[in-house]
Amino acid sequence: MQLNILSSLFVLFAIITIVLAADNGHYTVSDLGKRKQQILKNGGATLELAIAMLETEDMTNYVYGDGKTQDSANFDYNKGAVLNTDLAKDIKSRQESQAYFGLDKRFAGHRNGETGINNPNTQDIQNYKDAGVYWIKAQIESDQKYLRDDTSFWVYVQPI
């Protein structure tokens, strides 16, 4: 029992250390509040806001393959474009993939594709999830105004 408490405290300390050491902040993006409201009205919640905020500055069009060379998007090329053109389908797709894979594997697959799904507990995936998405989500949830205003939160997440 004592070992479980110590290991839990160690994990908590590691997460706090990562968050405190993280390069993060906030700034204003014109009309971002409108986009936040669109996401919420199309079935999104603070998790979708946080993921979108981490991925793109204006929370809209996602660059396929993150704009990296020799990388690929994790969707069928004939079907993936709808994720940038139909917000409700984009949100539904994220939520359905979470329902299918579970939250941790959904994060892992988003971060590192099939490799992430097969090995969802890497430190990189944990950093993306905890110091990245969850930090932004916590900031948004800290004040109701962040659901409507033009504040964008950011975290530096090591590119892979």
Tens of pLDDT, residue by residue over 34-90, are 999 999 999 999 999 999 999 888 887 766 555 555 444 555 555 666 666 788 998
User: Strands, DSSP E only, in the chain?
Assistant: 24-28, 151-155
pLDDT, one tens digit per residue, over 132-158 is 999 999 999 999 999 999 999 999 988
The two tokens of residue 134 are 């969850």
Q: Which domain holds residue 106?
A: 2-155
Provide the 3-class DSSP secondary structure of residue 42: coil
pLDDT mean across residues, the chain: 83
Q: What is the pLDDT of residue 72?
A: 47
Task: Please list, in sequence order, all residues whose beta carbon lies within 8 angstroms of the beta carbon of residue 125, skipping any fewer than 6 positions away.
Answer: 107, 108, 111, 112, 116
- Residue 160 falls inside a structural domain: no
Query: CA separation (Å) from 106 to 8, 65, 86, 151?
Result: 23, 17, 20, 26
Find the angle CA(21)-CA(26)-CA(29) to the nearest 5 degrees: 150
- Residue 47 falls inside a structural domain: yes
- Residue 37 falls inside a structural domain: yes
Is residue 40 packed enough to be buried (19+ CB in 10 Å), middle (13-18) or exposed (0-12)? middle
- Number of structural domains (the chain) is 1
pTM: 0.77
Q: What mean pLDDT do residues 109-115 have? A: 90
- Residue 139 falls inside a structural domain: yes
- Phi (first) and psi of residue 65, to 5 degrees: 65, 20
